[in-house]
Amino acid sequence: MEVRQISTAECIPLRAKVLRPFHTLEDCAYPQDPIAVHFGCFIGSALVSIVTAHPEDKDLFAVKGQWRIRGMATQPEVQGKGYGGEALKALLAWARARELPLLWCNAREMAIPFYLRHGFTVESELFDIKGIGAHKIMKVQL
């Protein structure tokens, strides 16, 4: 297993497959991708898990300089085996090295236990994102 920083182009196919299977690849690109950081976890040459983060302050949190996690995805056949956690750990290490104050995300309901295991806290009630499903805002202080 190898975890390393990757390009936007490397992220998009897995992002589309897991998170937005009924959308085009173009629809799975985020406007912030050009300024984002992306990490990927590989088994051999196969990319099995990704995470993206970009600068975005949320008014819910008083501190400035926040980064938002988006597009966290793992190949379905290897979900639950720790590869997503390894990609997230790489992002957290990257963020700590840059002394970012916090990372936050809109966590899908099914992903909330994953983020809790990695030190995140729940910061909102459940809300719906049209076409995607139920989420809660979560954050981790760095």
Ordered by where they begin, the domains of the chain are 2-141 (3.40.630.30)
pLDDT per residue as tens digits for the range 24-73: 777 778 899 999 999 999 999 999 999 999 999 999 999 999 999 998 99
> What is the rounded distance in angstroms from the CA atom of residue 43 to the CA atom of residue 142?
28
pTM recorded for the entire structure: 0.92
Question: Which residue in this structure is represented by tokens 């990609």?
Answer: 87
pLDDT given for residue 25 in this prediction? 72
Cβ atoms 90, 49 nearer than 8 A: no
